[in-house]
Structure 1
């Protein structure tokens, strides 16, 4: 497998693939284990959807009978006497309510009842207190309330205790007379029992026995917030001591509709849905329903309890309505945080649930949602990885933005059209984390590549050229290309015979002492070192980056090398007992430059006929007794910045076309040798004009100065030969060299 990947991808791509895969696998681990901080972030995304796309109430069935500040001010503080509660229930049914649910637990006897007061006064004060002309029905307010409960569509609330330690003085289960729900269970093979998956409680806080026995229905008001203390979901069913109980909202709907049972559909993962009166309510595996909040507080109609008791409503005002008795008063502490309102009355949550079920506008996280989120996360990680493997980070920003938008739009569309919540969070995090990680790796690799280039070229290029490459790497081309290049070859004369006088270590030291300053001069003049060939050096200018006036810089480098050699020879004479002479050849012309070699081993170098010619010019330095030989191309390119002396017009070995060769001097050196150069030029002009006798005389005069003995002796020998053997009319002054 690894070998296949190596064949398919480059090393950098394999690194990115490995990094992208690691990021994706890490996110898969987070997805499977759901760490707290990511779970909270996912909840906030859900909250955003709910705030952004919530719809107003779909029905006007639920209303809130509010124990508000007005009611408390007019009728006294809570708790009210139970006879007043009985009156409230009677008036609500008289106004036409088909269901009246109390979000208040009547867990203790009414201590304002005359019989209770009579008992307490006698026990505590020893006084027998009697009541004259008081109807018997008003002696016990709890009995009065119980009498009214059994004749109407009333539902009392109770609460569950998860553990007995949560509540002191908890009534025993035998003291609770709340009715379990009638639940039909549809369970496939392998599905767990409802008691295994539903929220479980160890006890209850119940209405007192007379009220619980009299009430036609009861429902729990237990609801647990998420980790951030926000209420987003509610259990519709709870289990305690083997029995299943319905929530206050569900029990109220059952009472109002006359539907006395519900169907609980199970799956192998837990609860799949709850079916009531033909309406399928999707839940999570524990039977919890997402509350589709319609807005902030007072989304539904609020009616002050005092207005009901004072008979201020028009007849039939609550016909067909379901009334929830609760409070919006902050003093009664039934305020809860929701995604849409941090101060949401708890009673309105029950009204919202009724509205959701009746309108069938129910939010859900479908069973296939985790699988889709997983696939989205996988796609976000792998697609980003492969895009970054093949393209620059800046080029894929738009495709990634498009993919992110598609994820978000698809999720929003499902939410708005189907009311499915499919979170894009893990897909987004995976996409962003993969992009960031791989971009950092690419940046690090590019920086490493820059450091490598800097280190690799530091011994070949001038610092200024390296700086240009670092600042503008796009300008660097290592691919083969045809380009006008100036080539320099230099070689130590008779190095083989000189090295015989030295030990191998001394030879190595000599080469190091010579080559180090020579190559430094090349790079200081913006040249590129190509290679060492024993004691020979090959360098070039105008690659890999364009160098302005590269012919002139190459020539100045050669002259500087000759000057440096004078200093080195003083050291060599002391250290090794001899001096060395170096010949340099320079030529400029089009060549092929780039990475040359095999697929596995290559070198950045030059090839072409002009490279060979530059090498031949270096070889001619010994023949003409010169330190430096340059071609006509160098002379033409360098202009008046140097003084050139023509040496000859020759055909080098391997070439048919003749070339004119020169040596070069700085203007200062030329001024010092002005007489010699003038006489030499006159001699050469006479030679070209075939006045060999005059040329012979002038070359002999130059030779007497002692600076150009080898060159002048060569021309003296030629002139003597041509005087004795005059050339024919086709003579072109070209001398053909048979050797390198």
Structure 2
């Protein structure tokens, strides 16, 4: 039995806790929504785009470098060169002259051609003439000689082949996507070796590496020379951020071979003794799983160079800054200057030279994070410079695990930090978490690691927005409950105003000048003795409903009903600078309402009712007060106590309304008449009693009475009883039906009879 009681109590406590804190679990909703993206199960395009934008920002702010790399030179077939040597493509003889100048006279260490000589060069008529002469030559020595001369004239590629043979040159080539046809496959002899481990080769997973079945290389005679891929990977937003470090070509038999990029092939050519090998992920292979492409391993004696790539075989290009000759990151030389021999001999000795074009019409300009028209040969130059420096940007294969771990840590920290946080603390907690994430990412980027950030920032922002929204809705509901609660005490107009201006009111107790009213139904106790309880309830409910309408029209707040008495105050919960006038207008309208109500009761033969009202103005304490078991929005203070004491004075002097001196001074809409100086319970000093005389607008009509009454007040306080009698006689002639004059006259007469005066 005890256990059952304990269990029920425990369940109730847990239910209450979940009800109070259940909405905070909604803060973990962003974690649930972002987890598929972070884990790599279902990438979200918008967040991936944000990651690209963040990468571009890091790249442009943290990787920009000043000064030119003196090891690499770019020979640009620019606009000036085309104007001097004619439109592109140039004759192979001109290209042979350019290559010879760079290799023989300028002593370049390696020459990379960002150009593909895909078709032979020759005349369209001579081949047919040469075939006819060759057929007719027979044993005719003259025709044989002419045929040999024509063949030599047609072979425009021979000069270029002779210029390139046995030279440190890397040709350009393009690999075409799966499904493209090709007549001539790339030379297998130029493929990079794959690790010899049978397990790794057989177990290797090349599914992420694009399979290229097409190949466009140079013409016969140039085809067997070293070449490098000129391909570039363009992201969905049209920006080049990666280039393939290696390309995978799949032949008709399904055999995969890997070929280097132009930059890698140039590095391989510059280090002839170096061994370059496609590397797999050793961890995957060792664990018995599928090995993935991880990069390229280059070794030369004791020296080792690791060039990482992603599992597509692509490397991030660490651009040095904006591209072009004006940027100054690489030395640009116009091809026309080389052909004209304007450079002193040996000017490029030991330099690695890339030949390409920056002319817009030749379609070798790329959009990069730094520049929307970035020369293609400078892309290869940037990759080559990174290889020479061993400075790479790597997106590791654990990037998804990293992102998922960050989401877990951030969501846990933010949930704990935001669960009980106010607006200011929530802002600082969110800002601190975002700063930690960004700071960690920047530090890792400086170390060469490129890791996703967008999902973490989206989580931080989403949790903050969700917390703010939930807190707002929670506060809104709480405020709505309070406003609904106040709706039982204040008029609907005030409730709407409180809802529109939540900052203008508060439940917290505070001191302010206000006006309070006590309104009592005279002789109700005796009348209620003859009524059944249900009848008393109906009677009070009907009467109080009518009175509440009057109070509402004048912005009053009903504090409480005390039997047949109602307590009302003005000036809270919303400030009311005209609270005294509103209170007096309410009291007078209540008296008028009671007059109409008595008319109905008289027709029904029921006894008439009278209201006695006391009003006072002063500093009082207003707010949510009470005990832990019962609280109430009410007013406290000496000014409130005085108002309660003034209400019986209304009965004593038969005045519908009696106010204190502060109310008489503050309610400027009315002329006030002094009633008496009296002692009230709880006060040592005399209290002035005042009653409303007339609206201020009628002051001129009461000028004579006011003057006489002020003289009477002074005579009374000075105890000049004869003067009081004389003044009362004159006042009664002015207003014979004035109840207050008659009451004072009766009091003065009673005092004379009892020989007090």
Range 51-60 or range 499-508, more displaced: 499-508
Calculate the aligned-residue CA RMSD, in Å: 5.4
Q: How has the CA–CA distance of structure 1 residues 65 and 422 changed in structure 2, closer, same or farther, with 3 Å as cutoff?
A: same
TM-score, scaled to structure 2: 0.74
Q: Is the 8 A contact 1:482 1:590 kept in 2?
A: yes
Is it true that 1:487 corresponds to 2:516 in the alignment? Answer: yes
- 1:678-689 equivalence runs, <5 A: none
TM-score, scaled to structure 1: 0.75
Aligned to 1:154: 169
Choose from 623, 627, 637 the match for 1:594.
623
Give the whole-Å Cα distance in 1 for the aligned partners of 2:523 and 2:94. 126
Range 592-601 or range 127-136, more displaced: 127-136
**Does the residue aligned with 1:568 lie in a helix, a strand or coil?**
helix
Q: Is the 8 A contact 2:365 2:373 kept in 1?
A: yes
Q: Is the 8 A contact 2:122 2:156 kept in 1?
A: no
Q: How has the CA–CA distance of structure 1 residues 717 and 242 changed in structure 2, closer, same or farther, with 3 Å as cutoff?
A: same
Choose from 38, 53, 60 the match for 1:51.
60
Is it true that 1:642 corresponds to 2:672 in the alignment? Answer: yes
Is it true that 1:291 corresponds to 2:320 in the alignment? Answer: no
The Cα shift of 1:520 comes to 3.9
Structure 2 unpaired stretches of 5+: 1-9, 250-254, 285-290
Is it true that 1:21 corresponds to 2:50 in the alignment? Answer: no
Give the whole-Å Cα distance in 1 for the aligned partners of 2:353 and 2:716. 125
Structure 1 unpaired stretches of 5+: 728-740
Aligned to 2:178: 163
Question: What is the CA deviation profile of residues 227-268 of structure 1, one whole-angstrom value per residue up to 9, with x for unaligned ones?
Answer: 122211111112223222211211121111111323625154
The Cα shift of 1:464 comes to 8.7
Give the whole-Å Cα distance in 2 for the aligned partners of 1:663 and 1:590. 19
Choose from 227, 233, 237 the match for 2:246.
237
Q: Is the 8 A contact 1:179 1:245 kept in 2?
A: yes
Give the whole-Å Cα distance in 1 for the aligned partners of 2:689 and 2:87. 118
Give the whole-Å Cα distance in 1 for the aligned partners of 2:197 and 2:278. 7
- 1:268-347 equivalence runs, <5 A: 268=284, 270-277=292-299, 278-294=304-320, 295-298=322-325, 299-305=329-335, 307-309=337-339, 311-347=341-377
Give the whole-Å Cα distance in 2 for the aligned partners of 1:320 and 1:636. 103
Q: Is the 8 A contact 1:6 1:14 kept in 2?
A: no
Q: Is the 8 A contact 2:134 2:147 kept in 1?
A: no
Aligned to 2:49: 40
Aligned to 2:612: 583
- 1:95-244 equivalence runs, <5 A: 95=105, 96-112=107-123, 131=146, 134=149, 140=155, 149-164=164-179, 167=180, 169-171=181-183, 173=185, 176-177=187-188, 179-184=190-195, 193=204, 195-208=206-219, 210-213=221-224, 215=225, 217-240=226-249, 241-244=255-258
Aligned to 2:288: none
**Does the residue aligned with 1:579 lie in a helix, a strand or coil?**
coil
Q: How has the CA–CA distance of structure 1 residues 714 and 292 changed in structure 2, closer, same or farther, with 3 Å as cutoff?
A: same
Choose from 276, 299, 302 the match for 1:261.
276
Aligned to 2:383: 353
The Cα shift of 1:139 comes to 6.8
Question: What is the CA deviation profile of residues 611-654 of structure 1, one whole-angstrom value per residue up to 9, with x for unaligned ones?
Answer: 566445545655665544556776687799311323x84665xx
- 1:692-703 equivalence runs, <5 A: none
The Cα shift of 1:201 comes to 1.8
Give the whole-Å Cα distance in 2 for the aligned partners of 1:255 and 1:662. 113
Q: Is the 8 A contact 1:185 1:264 kept in 2?
A: no
Give the whole-Å Cα distance in 1 for the aligned partners of 2:134 and 2:109. 43
Question: What is the CA deviation profile of residues 92-145 of structure 1, one whole-angstrom value per residue up to 9, with x for unaligned ones?
Answer: 332322222333333444445999565566799999896367498777455665
Q: Is the 8 A contact 2:133 2:147 kept in 1?
A: no
Is it true that 1:603 corresponds to 2:632 in the alignment? Answer: yes
The Cα shift of 1:276 comes to 2.4
Q: Is the 8 A contact 1:488 1:586 kept in 2?
A: yes
The Cα shift of 1:47 comes to 2.8
Question: What is the CA deviation profile of residues 441-482 of structure 1, one whole-angstrom value per residue up to 9, with x for unaligned ones?
Answer: 656666666666665545644789778867865553422345
Q: How has the CA–CA distance of structure 1 residues 320 and 660 changed in structure 2, closer, same or farther, with 3 Å as cutoff?
A: closer
Give the whole-Å Cα distance in 1 for the aligned partners of 2:535 and 2:137. 127
Aligned to 1:738: none
Question: What is the CA deviation profile of residues 581-608 of structure 1, one whole-angstrom value per residue up to 9, with x for unaligned ones?
Answer: 2222335566553212344652201346
The Cα shift of 1:687 comes to 14
